């Protein structure tokens, strides 16, 4: 599917959202009145895995967050990613987010979001090339299982479309909530080409954290296939991601989030196992095509939030 068509689809979804909001305003008002809240939190992330992938180094984050959630469904927030490992302790990213969430009846929830990112110029996070993103999400509770879907546009040198579809099931035991989930992420990989261009990959040294060309699996193929037009230069070779704008499945994820609420505090434990697929093909100026080095990853996220 071409990027132009995918973009039109996402824009159409947004238009439908706003139409739905207007048409069902009275239904939303009939739902129990919500309260406005200020929420602060602190999150620990054991590794920054993006669509099932990392480049070469483990990136551990400590992330303070703050957000204001208005009873109308509008919300704004900000977060700061403080890197704790890879031989570096620094502020790696700051992001600002805003959006609108709404419900229709008791079973359908949806929302629109927009997020702006400011990454450190030396960040080795795979998604550090993204400047801005907009997205929409849906969730419908079928009682037996909930269906979740989302679509987003991530803007870097070129625009990526990222989609997710998943199934979840919630269980409540006293103040504990458990929600096993299976998810599939699909999209384009222009971000990876931009990452190479920025010289962040282990192919180009990765600021001293890379593993060198030996960590890439060569296919032994020649110069074949469609390539993007942007490249990055090292002393040895230049690299181009083949068919970076092709839409494909990128990873599968299995997670079992567990949350505990007491008074205004909420504690979340989110273990996730990511299984990346469809490794990108990387064309070098030497005429060889090598495969992106992907492997399964286990990620642990711990978060505590307080609601005022």
* DSSP assignment letter at 280: P
pLDDT digit string (tens) for 104-117? 988 999 999 999 99
> What is the model's pTM?
0.77
In a domain, 120, yes or no: yes
Task: Indicate whether 89 belongs to any domain.
Answer: yes
pLDDT classification of 206: cutoffs 50, 70, 90: low
Beta carbons of 92 and 61 less than 8 angstroms apart:
yes
Confidence class for position 87, pLDDT limits 50, 70, 90: low
Q: CATH number for the domain including 51? A: 2.40.160.40
pLDDT digits (tens, 9 = 90+) for 133-158: 999 999 999 989 999 999 999 999 89
Question: How many CB atoms within 10 Å of residue 201?
Answer: 23
- Segment among 2-16, 179-193, 217-231, 238-252 with least mean pLDDT: 217-231
Strand arrangement of the beta sheet that strand 289-291 belongs to: 217-221, 289-291, 281-284, 238-241, 232-233
Which domain range does residue 88 map to?
3-188+247-272+295-307
Instruction: Give the mean pLDDT of the chain.
Output: 82
| Domain annotation covers residue 204 | no
pLDDT, tens only, 180-201: 999 999 999 999 999 988 777 7
Provide the number of structural domains found in the chain: 1
What's the whole-number mean pLDDT along residues 50-73? 92
Whether pLDDT at 295 is above 80 = yes
Look at residue 53 and tell me if it is in a domain: yes
């Amino acid at each position: 599917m071409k990027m132009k068509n995918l973009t039109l689809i996402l824009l159409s979804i947004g238009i439908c959202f706003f139409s739905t909001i207007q048409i069902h305003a009275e239904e939303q008002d009939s739902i129990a009145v919500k309260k406005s809240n200020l929420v602060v939190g602190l999150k620990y992330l054991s590794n920054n895995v993006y669509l099932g992938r990392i480049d070469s180094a483990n990136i551990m984050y400590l992330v303070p967050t703050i957000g204001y959630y208005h009873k109308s469904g509008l919300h704004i927030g900000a977060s700061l990613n403080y890197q704790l490992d890879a031989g570096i302790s620094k502020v790696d990213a700051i992001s600002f987010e805003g959006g609108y969430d709404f419900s229709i009846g008791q079973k359908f929830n949806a929302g629109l979001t927009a997020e702006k990112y400011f990454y450190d110029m030396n960040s080795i996070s795979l998604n550090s090339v993204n400047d801005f993103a907009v997205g929409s999400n849906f969730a419908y509770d079928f009682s037996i299982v909930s269906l979740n879907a989302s679509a987003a546009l991530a803007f870097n040198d070129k625009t990526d479309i990222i989609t997710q579809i998943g199934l979840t099931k919630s269980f409540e035991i006293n103040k504990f909530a458990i929600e096993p989930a299976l998810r599939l992420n699909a999209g384009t990989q222009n971000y990876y080409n931009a990452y190479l261009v920025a010289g962040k990959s282990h192919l180009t040294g990765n600021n001293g954290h890379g593993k060198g060309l030996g960590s890439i699996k060569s296919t032994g193929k020649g110069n074949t296939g469609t390539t993007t037009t942007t490249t990055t230069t090292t002393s040895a070779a230049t690299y181009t991601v083949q068919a970076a704008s092709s839409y494909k499945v990128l990873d599968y994820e299995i997670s079992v989030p567990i949350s505990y609420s007491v008074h205004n505090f909420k504690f979340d434990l989110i273990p996730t196992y990511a299984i990346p697929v469809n490794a990108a093909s990387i064309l070098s100026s030497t005429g060889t095509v090598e495969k992106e080095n992907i492997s399964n990853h286990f990620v642990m996220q711990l978060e505590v939030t307080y609601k005022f």
